[in-house]
């Protein structure tokens, strides 16, 4: 590891930095004007004892900051075992998330088992379906496997940012600018069979992926006056 990276991890992976970042994010989040719609089906499922797994693109997952407060309960989520993941997991834990460490490339099997256990315990979780390194907008197999084994209903989550900062990253990650508006909505519930063959598995994966791509294409017009089309 280079000296530059060693200094970076030394600076960010300590309690003081985690506390500072958490407090800054908390202050920042209060400047954003948030609207949440179509969460009723999720609340009904949770009230009846069902497990729900929210599916999200990596690009829009900044809105995850608001979900534990909105749903008034912790959500479990898988975060990579990288050193950046060490820092992120400590921050999101303070927000109200239950981080499970692992990814498709490292510690995946153990993390999947722990995510299944956490999801069946707390009832609500989220999965970044194209993370941690892409390619963007391609759902990986972990979403279907996790939902099936945890007996969870998949619910895609969508976010439209009025005035985002867009980073030069693999997914063009977005953060809403202060005092701008953010719209969060939830899509069609996906109830999966507990078992399926490889062809059926791929058909499910591709179907959810295509629905999310189409819905996000509609949401691109949300702040330009075409909200009726975007929310239908």
Domain parsing of the chain, residue ranges: 3-231
Tokens of 168: 């030069």
Residue 225 confidence (pLDDT): 67
pLDDT at 105: 61
In this structure, are residues 120 and 150 in contact, taking their beta carbons and an 8 Å threshold? yes
Q: What is the pLDDT of residues 76-135, one digit of tens each?
A: 999 988 777 888 899 999 999 999 988 666 667 888 999 999 999 999 999 999 988 889
Exposure string for 156-194, b = 16+ CB within 10 A, e = fewer = bbbbbbeebeeeeeebebbbbeeebbbbbbbbeebebee
CATH top-level class for 3-231?
A: alpha beta
CB 119 within 8 A of CB 77: no
DSSP state of 66: G
CA dist., res. 130 & res. 138, Å (int): 5
pLDDT score at 108: 73
Average pLDDT over residues 135-139: 96
Contact predicate 159/60, CB 8 Å: yes
Q: What is the mean pLDDT of residues 21-50?
A: 95
Residue 16, pLDDT score: 84
**Percentage of residues in the chain having pLDDT higher than 70:** 89
Mean of the pLDDT values across residues 20-30?
A: 91
Helices 142-150 and 198-219 cross at an angle (nearest 10°) of: 110
Report pLDDT for 133: 87
- What per-residue confidence (pLDDT) applies to 106? 65
**208-127-134 Cα angle (round to 5):** 75
Helices 108-122, 142-150: crossing angle, 10 deg rounding:
40
Quick one: what percent of the chain has pLDDT higher than 90? 72
User: Residue 227: is its pLDDT beyond 60?
Assistant: no
**What confidence score (pLDDT) does residue 7 get?**
46
| Predicted local distance difference test score (pLDDT) of residue 232 | 44
Q: What is the pLDDT of residue 226?
A: 52
Average pLDDT, the chain: 89
pLDDT score of 197: 96
Which of the four pLDDT bands, split at 50, 70 and 90, describes residue 8? low
Distance of CA 167 to the CA centre of its chain: 17
């Amino acid at each position: 590891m280079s000296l530059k990276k060693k200094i970076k991890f030394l600076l960010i992976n300590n309690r003081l930095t985690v506390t500072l970042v958490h407090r800054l994010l908390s202050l920042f989040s209060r400047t954003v004007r948030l609207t949440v719609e179509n969460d009723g089906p999720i609340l009904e499922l949770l009230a009846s004892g069902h497990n729900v797994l929210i599916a999200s693109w990596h690009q829009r997952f900044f809105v995850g900051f608001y979900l534990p407060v909105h749903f008034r309960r912790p959500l479990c989520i898988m975060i990579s075992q990288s050193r950046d993941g060490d820092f992120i997991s400590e921050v999101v834990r303070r927000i109200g998330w239950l981080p499970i460490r692992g990814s498709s490339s490292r510690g995946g099997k153990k993390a999947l088992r722990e995510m299944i256990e956490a999801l069946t315990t707390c009832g609500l979780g989220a999965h970044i379906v194209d993370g941690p390194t892409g390619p963007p907008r391609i759902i990986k197999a972990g979403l279907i496997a996790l939902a099936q084994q945890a007996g969870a209903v998949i619910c895609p989550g969508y976010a439209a940012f009025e005035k985002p900062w867009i980073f030069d990253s693999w997914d063009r990650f977005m953060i809403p600018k202060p005092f701008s508006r953010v719209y969060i909505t939830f899509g069609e519930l996906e109830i999966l069979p507990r078992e399926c063959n490889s062809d059926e598995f791929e058909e499910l994966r591709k179907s959810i992926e295509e629905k999310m791509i189409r819905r996000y294409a509609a949401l691109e017009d949300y702040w330009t006056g075409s909200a009726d089309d975007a929310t239908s």
